[in-house]
Structure 1
Amino acid sequence: MKKRILIIEDEKVLRETLEDYLREDGFDVKIAMDGEIGMNLIKEEEFDLIVLDIILPKKDGFKILEEVKEDEKRKNIPVIILTNLESVEDIQKAFERGVTNYLVKSDHSLIEVSEKIKKILKI
């Protein structure tokens, strides 16, 4: 059975490129272009991992991360933050809220993101 990944990302090119790349790598991928749609999908469906941007329309990534980690049914879903924010404060805030991994977009290729996902999912 394919592992299901939800990508919550508002940058269209990155969202679609990452989606295509992960599908080619054998994952079942769903996408959301804003935080509200993403949170609705999290509540309605089952995912093995979430890739989450912080700066999103309607609901930011920190709020989504908090809601996921406060939900008994979903709190163990690994969450990777993939963002442009690279301040120590943002990184610390994410780990305090239970993020599994924090990746700065400009520092990681799609191959590296996919490898991190596989490592977390033990593939």
Structure 2
Amino acid sequence: MPKTILVVEDDKFLRELIVRKLKEEDFNISEAIDGEDGIKKIKEEKPDLVLLDLILPGIDGFEVLSKMKEDMSLAQIPVIILSNLGQKDDVERGFKLGVVDYLIKAHFTPGEIIEKVKGALK
């Protein structure tokens, strides 16, 4: 059975590009365009992995992570951050909140992002 990935990303172009690449690899995909929708879908769908932007309208990605970690039914879902925030403090904060990987958008191609997703699901 294919794994389900929730892509939480407000940039339409990037979200559609990542979704297309993930579908090519036979993943089931769910999408959210902001933090509130992301939290709602995480609770309802319990995806196998969340690909999470940090800069989102409303609730940001760090808040999404905090809410996931507070809920034992969600705390074990692996999260990969995909963000333009590359400062050391942001990266450390992400790992302290339990992310499995922290990817800076400008440093990774869509193909490399897919490889990171596959690696996190093994």
CA RMSD in angstroms comes to 0.6
Q: Which residue of 1 aligns with 2:3?
A: 3
| TM-score of the superposed pair, with normalisation by structure 1 | 0.97
Alignment of 1:63-78 (within 5 A): 63-78=63-78
Please report how far the alpha carbon of residue 14 of structure 1 lies from its aligned counterpart in structure 2 after TM superposition. Answer: 0.1
Please report how far the alpha carbon of residue 58 of structure 1 lies from its aligned counterpart in structure 2 after TM superposition. Answer: 1.2
| TM-score of the superposed pair, with normalisation by structure 2 | 0.98
- Structure 2 gap ranges (5+): none
Q: Which residue of 2 aligns with 1:116?
A: 116
Alignment of 1:27-66 (within 5 A): 27-66=27-66
1:85 counterpart = 2:92: no
Deviation by residue 1:68-90 (Cα, 9 ceiling, x = unmatched): 11211111100000000110010
Distance 2:8 2:40 in 1: 11
The runs of 4+ residues in structure 1 deviating greater than 4 Å are none
Q: How many residues align?
A: 122
